[in-house]
Amino acid sequence: MTELDEQQTAARTWFEGLRDRICAAFEAIERDAGSDARFEYAPWDRTDPDGTSGGGGVRGVMKGKVFEKVGVNVSTVGGRFEGEFAKSIHGAGDDPRFFATGISLVAHMANPHVPAVHMNTRFLRTTKQWFGGGADLNPPLPRDEDTADFHARLKAACDAHSPDYYPRFKKWADDYFFIPHRGVHRGVGGIFYDHLEGDFDADFAFTRDVGEAFLDVYPRLVRRRMDEPWTEADRRAQLAWRGRYAEFNLVYDRGTLFGLKTGGNIDAILMSLPPLATWE
CATH (domain of 48): 3.40.1500.10
Residue 278 lies in a domain: no
Numbered residues of the known binding site: 104, 108, 118, 120-122, 151, 181, 263-265
Numbered residues of the known binding site for a divalent metal cation: 108, 118, 151, 181
Residue 208 lies in a domain: yes
> How many distinct structural domains can be found in the chain?
1
Residue 277 lies in a domain: no
pTM (2 d.p.)? 0.94
Are 39 and 67 a contacting pair, CB within 8 Å?
Answer: no
* Residues involved in catalysis: 118
Numbered residues of the known binding site for substrate: 104, 120-122, 263-265
**Containing structural domain, residue 150:** 6-272
Across 210-235, average pLDDT: 98
Residue 1 lies in a domain: no
Predicted confidence band at 123 (pLDDT cuts at 50, 70, 90)? very high
Are 262 and 68 a contacting pair, CB within 8 Å?
Answer: no
C-alpha span between 108 and 112 (Å, rounded) = 9
Predicted confidence band at 50 (pLDDT cuts at 50, 70, 90)? confident
Helix (H) or strand (E) holding 152: helix 144-159
Which amino acid type is present at position 103?
I
